[in-house]
Amino acid sequence: MLGKLVCLALAVGLPAGLIATPAGGGGMQDFRITHVMGAPLGVDARLSLEGTRIAVQSPCNSLAMGFVRAPDGSLVEDLPLIATQAICADPALAAAEARLRQALSGVSRLSQEGERLVLSTADGAIRIEAERQDAAGPAGPGGQDAGSIPK
């Protein structure tokens, strides 16, 4: 599956470094997205957090963004939201993906409490909620949690 994602990323011009690497490859944490803008997402979507990258595998496309952490703890967009452009044939999947894209574009804060990851706006509005999926413990395989993302 990873090889297909890398090939797809190269085919559509996504930087290959934004495609998540397998667990154990330097502190990646995997989450299942449960809620988007306060409502259940209703479809299977995964979020990977590694260093200064967020990658999302939505029902039809892969999305990614890069950021740096500002001194106030906010996320400053270092690489704008980018995505593959496959068409979702199912209208329900297309609607869920559109909500996910909209939510990601407004993210400026990231917090993690135990198994729960929350991405929110600067004013605290929760955009995305996700639950931890890997079994390496709260700090992930590389010993890095969301609160210690490099500056």
- Kindly tell me if the per-residue pLDDT of 13 is higher than 60: no
Spell out the domain ranges in the chain. 2-141
pLDDT of residue 134: 61
What confidence tier does 76 reach under pLDDT thresholds 50, 70, 90? Answer: confident
β-pairing verdict for 53-57 and 29-36 = unpaired
CATH hierarchy code of domain 2-141: 2.40.128.270
Alpha-helix residue ranges (DSSP H) falling in 15-151: 91-105
pLDDT of residue 131: 96
pLDDT of residue 33: 97
- Work out the mean pLDDT of the chain and round it to a whole number: 75
CA distance 62 to 41: 16
pLDDT of residue 6: 35
Q: Which percentage of the chain shows pLDDT scores above 70?
A: 70
Mean pLDDT, range 83-102, rounded to an integer: 94
Mean pLDDT, range 81-108, rounded to an integer: 92
- Kindly tell me if the per-residue pLDDT of 29 is higher than 70: yes
Among 16, 1, 32, smallest CA distance to 117 is for: 32
